[in-house]
Amino acid sequence: DGGITQSPKYLFRKEGQNVTLSCEQNLNHDAMYWYRQDPGQGLRLIYYSQIVNDFQKGDIAEGYSVSREKKESFPLTVTSAQKNPTAFYLCASSMSEKLFFGSGTQLSVL
Amino acid sequence: AQTVTQSQPEMSVQEAETVTLSCTYDTSESDYYLFWYKQPPSRQMILVIRQEAYKQQNATENRFSVNFQKAAKSFSLKISDSQLGDAAMYFCAYRTPYRDNYGQNFVFGPGTRLSVLP
């Protein structure tokens, strides 16, 4: 089945640690996105990529990094510089006008 | 920059009744797309309905329909015959047409939490 797979579903980060959230899609979509969602809030864009080997910062990129070495994959690293990383992270992809989402990763700080 | 506003943080509806969720947006563009996404307790984002700005006819998907008022920049969602499974957060979203150059092209509103009362 085609779709977007995010892993892990739950992730815990220790202080000072970098963690990486995985996002893989087999929809053959060019564009991929990372959003952050805080409790009771809307979605805020962290990074997006329209093509392989290129990506752009969104509204809240500080403390995060990404790579886009393959069309199918767009991993997000939450670095130790992100002081408030606890949130729900959603990966998405699009071709034409629709946005398709993965099932999300809940990141919490130990 | 485009913005999306949802003025109702929470709404409730009786089962089998009809409810309307509001959304307004701000843009200087004439060609764009609008969406309603549903996020149930599972937190999976599900596309409910979409509207193309150049189409005057309001989109409909089964029990879900929109009232698109382009001049007023308003895009409300009507849910008819509400069911318990409709309880969720609903997000209104705006998308510019695809461009070759880079640009943030999806903007989400803050969401409306809908409760369905049995």
Which residues, numbered 45 to 64 in chain B, qualify as contacts with chain A under a Cβ-Cβ cut-off of 8 Å?
45, 47, 50, 52
Residue B70: predicted pLDDT: 95
Residue B44, chain A, CB below 8 Å: the answer is yes
Dist CA B66 CA B45 (whole Å): 19
Over residues A62-81, the pLDDT tens digits come to: 999 999 999 999 999 999 99
Chain A: closest CA distance from residue B68 (Å): 18
B-chain residues near A104 (CB < 8 A): 43-44
> 3-state DSSP call for residue B57?
coil
Closest partner residue to A42 (CB to CB) among B43, B95, B109 is B109
A-chain residues near B42 (CB < 8 A): 103
Residue A1: predicted pLDDT: 62
Examine the pLDDT at B99 and tell me if it is beyond 90: no
Over residues A1-24, the pLDDT tens digits come to: 679 999 999 999 988 899 999 999
Nearest to B82 by CA among B116, B56, B32: B116
Over residues B18-69, the pLDDT tens digits come to: 999 999 999 888 889 999 999 999 999 999 999 999 988 999 999 999 999 9
CB A76, CB A46: distance < 8 Å:
yes
Beta bridge partners of B106: B95
B-chain residues near A48 (CB < 8 A): 104
Over residues A80-99, the pLDDT tens digits come to: 999 899 999 999 998 777 88
> 3-state DSSP call for residue B85?
helix
Whether residues B110 and A103 touch (CB distance < 8 A) is answered with no
B-chain residues near A61 (CB < 8 A): none
Which residues, numbered 61 to 90 in chain B, qualify as contacts with chain A under a Cβ-Cβ cut-off of 8 Å?
none
Residue B33, chain A, CB below 8 Å: the answer is yes
For residue A61, with 0-12 CB atoms within 10 Å meaning exposed, 13-18 middle and 19 or more buried, which class applies?
middle
Residue B104: predicted pLDDT: 55
Examine the pLDDT at B112 and tell me if it is beyond 90: yes
User: Which residue of A43, A44, A96 is the best one to mutate when testing the B interface, meaning the one whose CB has the most B CBs within 10 A?
Assistant: A43
Mean pLDDT score across all residues of chain B? 91
Residue B100 binned pLDDT confidence (cut-offs 50, 70, 90) = very low
